[in-house]
Amino acid sequence: MELKRLNKAISETGFCSRRAADRLIEEGKVSINGKPAELGEKVTASDIISVEGKVITKEVANIYLAFNKPVGITCTTDTEIRGNIITFLNYPERIFPIGRLDKPSEGLIFMTNDGDIVNKILRAKNNHEKEYLVRVNRRITLDFLRKMGNGVPILDTITDKCTVERMDDFTFKIVLTQGLNRQIRRMCQYLDYEVRSLKRTRIMNISLDNIKVGKYRSFTKDELQTILDLVGDSSKTEEASH
Predicted pLDDT at 12:
76
Using DSSP bridges, classify how beta strands 153-154 and 54-55 pair: parallel, antiparallel or unpaired: unpaired
Q: What is the mean pLDDT of residues 227-242?
A: 66
Predicted pLDDT at 117:
84
What predicted TM-score, i.e. pTM, was given to this entire model? 0.74
Q: Is 156 left (phi over 0), alpha (psi -120 to 50) or beta?
A: left
| Number of domains the chain is built from | 3
Question: Is 102 marked active-site?
Answer: yes
Q: Which of 78, 102, 116, 168 is catalytic?
A: 102
On whether both 98 and 215 belong to a single domain, the answer is: yes
On whether both 68 and 170 belong to a single domain, the answer is: no
Q: DSSP string covering 97-127, please? A: EES---TT-EEEEEEES-HHHHHHHHH-TTT
On whether both 112 and 78 belong to a single domain, the answer is: yes
Is the pLDDT at 170 greater than 70, yes or no?
yes
Q: What is the mean pLDDT of residues 53-77?
A: 88
Does 242 map to a domain? Answer: no
| CATH assignment at residue 26 | 3.10.290.10
Predicted pLDDT at 1:
56
Is the pLDDT at 237 greater than 50, yes or no?
no
Q: Could you tell me the residue range of the domain that residue 140 belongs to?
A: 130-203
Q: At what angle do helices 221-230 and 115-123 cross, to 10 degrees?
A: 50
On whether both 170 and 108 belong to a single domain, the answer is: no
